[in-house]
A = this chain, B = another copy of it.
Amino acid sequence: MAGTDQTRKMIAEGPAIVLVEPQLGENIGMVARAMANFGLVDLRLVNPRDGWPSEKARAAASRADHVIDAVTVFDDLPSAIADLHVVMATTARQRDMAKAVLTPKEAVARLRDTHDAGRRGGIVFGRERWGLENDEVALANTIVTFPVNPAFASLNIAQAVLLMSYEWMNAAVGQLKPFEQSDAPAASRADLQHLYDHLEGALDEANYFHPPDRRERMVITLRNIFADAGLSEPQIKTLRGVVAALERRWLRKKK
């Protein structure tokens, strides 16, 4: 597993996200937020309709200010991708074009190879309404398309960016959990045996095993409930407390 610094570096060096003629500042902001969620930082805009900077974009970015502040703006797509070595064009519809069509996973695998070779990759997203023009797609090495439900294929731009950013993080560092299960010590088989003994003793007192010749079978049934339940020491303690409480209640009643 890569160390934290290495991890951070690999993520920060993720692909550039290029938006061609985005129309709504809100969408640019949501794109920035999605990038920040998965550690991407290089957002490039080609001719944003309402200009730049955009207060609406900053508001929608929900404090992804480091992405918004670093945005670069270009007059055309060739300028926006000039320094990149591998470029992917996202599109939801088939183009009559001799160009490989990749899934998000295939695309990030290639972008990861690009990164590992010390080169820069980028992913281009089209306008909200009609995506990329064919001449824009032609500038890319390959096409990326999303494995959506064909009956409902329209993915909004921030969601498309989110999926690519998510896959980039998966490809770069795997699915790191931001936190793990609180690790209470696992119960040993001896702890479990104490629970069995305690419970079965209490049940003997309560005449639960009836008729007596069924006891063996019933004990097995009970033990199997706990045998592979993954109980921790504190959980065994809790269960023994439960047995003790019920036992006392029953003993009190009997008096």
Contacts and interface: CB of A to CB of B under 8 A. Distances in A.
10 contacts: A37-B148, A37-B159, A97-B182, A98-B182, A101-B177, A101-B180, A145-B179, A146-B178, A147-B177, A159-B162
Contact of A178 (B92, B180, B232): B92
A170 interface: yes
Nearest to A170: B147
The quantity of this chain's copies bound in the complex is: 2
A118 interface: no
Given A36-B152, A62-B154, A147 B159 contact: no
A176 B152 contact: no
A105 to B, nearest CB: 6
Interface in A89-133: 92-101, 103-106
Interface string A174-201: 1111111110100000000000000000
Contacts of A184: 98
Interface in A33-53: 33-34, 36-39
Interface of A: 11, 33-34, 36-39, 62-64, 92-101, 103-106, 143, 145-150, 152-156, 158-159, 162-163, 166, 169-170, 173-182, 184, 232, 234-235
Given A62-B154, A159-B34, A166-B163, A178 B98 contact: no
B96 A11 contact: no
Contacts of A180: 94, 101
A240 to B, nearest CB: 16
A97 B235 CA distance: 11
A93 to B, nearest CB: 7
Nearest to A39: B149
B148 A181 contact: no
A95 B98 CA distance: 51
Contacts of A101: 177, 179-181
A184 B103 CA distance: 20
A174 B94 CA distance: 20
Contacts of A93: 179
Nearest to A144: B177
A169 B181 contact: no
Contacts of A92: 178
Contact of A182 (B11, B94, B155, B162): B94
